[in-house]
Structure 1
């Protein structure tokens, strides 16, 4: 006769199998290789190698946008890698750049307590070589139209595919929907930590749901990546979170259009790069 302990162990292993084969960020799917050529992988030193830590996206020649909380205390040897699909495979499309201390610009009003103003700019140590695998994406400026409740938006990254910190090797993408801001500001969602500089989004899993989570969502490691509406970056993944795929904890994104003056001020104040392009 099968014991209760054996039944519980079997159920746990079955759930683990379901989680481990989730196809996306939380849900979603693998992106077509280099179909999102603006994506950047921000990687930290890990022994003799580098490990993906956060996302980012290319907004201009030599400029990458990301989230402050990815590097709130400085670069500390991190690098930006463009032209990535697989983190582990050798790809001729990859271009790697140093993050110099004086080329990292964190928003001065970033709040560690609730991640308000979670936007940062990185000036690469040299211009990138534009290709089919490395291109800029347009970002929404002041006066542009942001998505509203139930609008479909897209995000992508190499973040966790479950709450066991399992990370994908290849870029994942997911379509989610904007959640009403007043809902995200409710006390059973994010309460007063949710500000006007944020938008939140996820997508309830359609019935019958064939994944172990009730919603599709961004997750830990997707931070710094873009939220796109009609092909334009409107948000920065801020609180993908370490507890993902929860109905009352949708992903939180920084509203880019609120920062046009700050972005222009940083980028226009920097001298043009000299020397050869990166490879």
Structure 2
């Protein structure tokens, strides 16, 4: 029979295992510096400094795509930084912008994050460099990734449910989870709509440790979901905790909003 002390030690080891190897964001890795030149950090004033709050991605020389829930009440002094890899280090590649216009989708539903797409117009066009470029996004009529298709995401979001944030941009590859599964009552139920796609990755391989889950998390919101190098989704929401088996990350399907995007950005519809 185990003594009380032995049981306490065993319980501590078990809990440590949950923290170190459980349902947390451990599967991503640091991206090569400026290998994703479309990535943006949306930052808020904190004292004398700026703090990363959400991601975004450049889709034209003066336009950024992000999520409504990142700025539900307006810009409020936030700035956009492009050409950033390290949030803390001085980098000659960084370009910082004020937000000239914020366009949140008028049908955004805060109860289930449906229509979680927003467009930001920067105060000026960015200077196109190797570290700052726009990414193509999928338009109506394009083919979205099917179940099990490999997709990618990136951001400066939390690495675990303890809120530990990286200084450098991280990236991850994941697989699309079927809409049928994500709409099940034990997943998201009726909160999951046809405007959403969900994705994560159950690994032990190539992740360092058993049963770890690759997933986006707090601070990654607004960043892109990419399929074959094209932005097909916007990081939206996946539940109160990240890396849960039955709560994959949810992404807004960009191609469902082509008409609205064209109207806001003043683009001419395809002939």
TM-score relative to the length of structure 1? 0.89
Aligned to 1:231: 229
Q: What is the CA deviation profile of residues 203-259 of structure 1, one whole-angstrom value per residue up to 9, with x for unaligned ones?
A: 111358633653211111100000000000000000154411111000000000000
Confirm whether residue 163 of structure 1 aligns to residue 166 of structure 2. Answer: no
Contact map agreement 2:27 2:207 (CA 8 A) in 1: no
3-state secondary structure, aligned to 2:266: helix
Aligned to 2:89: 89
Change in Cα spacing, 1:208 to 1:263, as seen in structure 2 (3 Å) is: closer
* Cα deviation, residue 144, structure 1: 0.4
* Among candidates 5, 25, 30, match of residue 8 of structure 2: 5
* Distance in 1, Cα, partners of 2:240 & 2:209: 18
Q: What is the CA deviation profile of residues 46-87 of structure 1, one whole-angstrom value per residue up to 9, with x for unaligned ones?
A: 111111110000000110000000001111111100001001
Change in Cα spacing, 1:85 to 1:241, as seen in structure 2 (3 Å) is: farther
* Structure 1 consecutive aligned stretches of length 4 or more whose deviation exceeds 2 Å: 1-19, 206-214
Contact map agreement 2:174 2:199 (CA 8 A) in 1: yes
Aligned to 2:264: 266
* Distance in 1, Cα, partners of 2:68 & 2:31: 26
Change in Cα spacing, 1:213 to 1:124, as seen in structure 2 (3 Å) is: farther
Aligned to 1:70: 70
Change in Cα spacing, 1:209 to 1:120, as seen in structure 2 (3 Å) is: closer
Q: What is the CA deviation profile of residues 143-166 of structure 1, one whole-angstrom value per residue up to 9, with x for unaligned ones?
A: 001000000000000001101011
Contact map agreement 1:223 1:240 (CA 8 A) in 2: no
TM-score relative to the length of structure 2? 0.91
Aligned to 1:173: 171
Q: Is there any run of 5+ residues in structure 2 with no aligned partner, and where?
A: none
* Among candidates 96, 107, 110, match of residue 109 of structure 1: 107
Change in Cα spacing, 1:106 to 1:258, as seen in structure 2 (3 Å) is: same
3-state secondary structure, aligned to 1:27: coil
1:175-254 correspondence to structure 2 within 5 Å: 175-206=173-204, 210-211=208-209, 214-254=212-252
Contact map agreement 1:157 1:172 (CA 8 A) in 2: yes
* Distance in 1, Cα, partners of 2:35 & 2:238: 22
Over the aligned positions, Cα root-mean-square deviation in angstroms equals 2.0
Change in Cα spacing, 1:218 to 1:71, as seen in structure 2 (3 Å) is: same
Number of residue equivalences: 263
* Cα deviation, residue 16, structure 1: 4.7
Aligned to 1:38: 38
* Distance in 1, Cα, partners of 2:222 & 2:145: 19
Contact map agreement 2:27 2:208 (CA 8 A) in 1: no
* Distance in 2, Cα, partners of 1:191 & 1:207: 29
Change in Cα spacing, 1:242 to 1:50, as seen in structure 2 (3 Å) is: farther
Q: Is there any run of 5+ residues in structure 1 with no aligned partner, and where?
A: 270-279
Contact map agreement 1:15 1:212 (CA 8 A) in 2: no
* Cα deviation, residue 180, structure 1: 0.5
